[in-house]
Amino acid sequence: MKLKDLKISAQLRLGLGAILALVVLLGALASVQTRRLGRQAIGLYDHPLPVRQALGRLEVGVERMSRYVRDLFLTHNDQGTMESLHKLEAAKDEIDQQLAVLHDRYLGPPEDIAVLRDDFVAWHALRGGTVRLLREGKTAEAEARILPGGVQDAQAELVRSHLRKIDDFAANKSDQFYQAATAQTDAINRQLVSVIATILLLSVAIIWLLTRGIRTPLAELTAATA
């Protein structure tokens, strides 16, 4: 059966149904692509962003602990020593919290975090040894440990190198999330433009067919009436 053989009401229902189906398709496509884009944004928020924030706090914590150890050499009373030691413990607790964040959110090899934690524990142990030497009055020996080339300074630099490595990975992962989100956005725009253009063309074609289908019966009715 040809389209022109259908009743006008059937033609109208068929045309409007086709347009409605395309509109529904457009909505479904937009919904699917939006969810994909949302997952990209969530991935960026849940992983590289908190990892790099934690790394920033870790770097600050490492520098603070190094400074607090140096402050011990400038302290000449028990109260000042206790304050510096208290600050050291607070900085260590903050670093432990940020290491836990890295353990949960880091998308790279788990051994990266394990090595960082082990090296930090080793550095913390060396720091304890330096404090012990200082409190025993072995100032020169303790100072040699924190000077460039000393065991504690070398271990601190090893911790910093691990932080830089993890930060580089997190930065690259962040770029990947951003590029994927950008590509997804471009794909959404192309698909929406294609579907909208199809809807417009189909609408024009349906209107033309319906107009032609209605015009012929009207012309015959007008001729018969005349």
**Spatial distance between the Cα atoms of 59 and 162, rounded to a whole number of angstroms:** 11
**Looking at residue 97, what is its pLDDT?**
92
Does residue 51 or residue 208 have the better pLDDT?
51
Q: Average pLDDT in the 14-38 region?
A: 74
**Spatial distance between the Cα atoms of 159 and 66, rounded to a whole number of angstroms:** 12
Nearest CA to 120 among 61, 169, 72?
61
- Per-residue pLDDT band for 99 (boundaries 50, 70, 90) equals very high
Residue type, 14: L
Residue type, 125: A
Q: Does 41 have pLDDT greater than 70?
A: no
Structure tokens at 178: 């951003």
What length is written for the chain?
Answer: 226
Q: Does 4 have pLDDT greater than 70?
A: no
Per the CB < 8 A criterion, the answer to whether 14 and 205 are in contact is no
Per the CB < 8 A criterion, the answer to whether 140 and 150 are in contact is no
DSSP state of 47: T
Q: Does 85 have pLDDT greater than 90?
A: no
Give pLDDT tens digits for 130-189. 888 888 888 899 889 888 889 999 999 999 999 999 999 988 888 887 787 788 778 777
**What percentage of the chain carries pLDDT values higher than 70?**
87
**Looking at residue 213, what is its pLDDT?**
67
Q: SS3 for 94?
A: helix
**Spatial distance between the Cα atoms of 28 and 38, rounded to a whole number of angstroms:** 15
**Looking at residue 24, what is its pLDDT?**
80
- Per-residue pLDDT band for 42 (boundaries 50, 70, 90) equals low
